[in-house]
Structure 1
Amino acid sequence: MSNNEVQSVEEQIEALRCQLENEYKTEEKRLLEEKQKAYERLDEMEKQTIQEIENEWQNKEARVKQQTIDYEKEIRQDLSSLMNDISKSIKIKSLVEEAVALVLNKK
């Protein structure tokens, strides 16, 4: 092999090395951009998931609050009904006692 042939082969090798290096850098850049986009998608998914969970908890809290209001209303109604029944019972007892006393006094 002559010196020119060796030099030509070396030039071809150097050209191929430069081409491979450029391809490597291009691929590395593409992969880094793809990685960055993946991280951005993950961040967006995280934000969306957190928002969904916050909304879900707000809905649960609102339902619990409404249930508490409904239960309190039901308890108040039951208590009012019970108080009316007790009041009626006391009045009936009082009326019976008065009637018995009147009957006994008339004898």
Structure 2
Amino acid sequence: MPYLFINAHHVARWRGNCLVRFGDPDTAEDLRSALAGMDGTYNRAESGVRCDLGHALLAAGDPEAAQPHIHRAQQLATMTGSRRQRRRIDELSKAVNRALGG
């Protein structure tokens, strides 16, 4: 029988995913909370959280802090074979590189 399990970290992940689309830099804390609550078994979800966190950090004016999250998101997206996620990460990488003057 199907079930749905939701905890505070899931809500933080979904909330962060929504708010980052509006350019809200304060969503980084929600996304950090979501990341802290992940147990390492959901690579696709972690990749998405790290991509969203990279966006939030870029919106907050901290592209250097976004880089390790982008790198890990790329690794995870490659592991899962998610083309959609890799496209998102590639676009974010380009934006971070522009912000860093590269």
Q: TM-score, normalised by structure 1?
A: 0.19
**Bigger fraction of residues in helix:** 1
Whose relative contact order is higher, 1 or 2, with alpha carbons under 8 Å and at least 6 apart?
2
Q: TM-score, normalised by structure 2?
A: 0.20
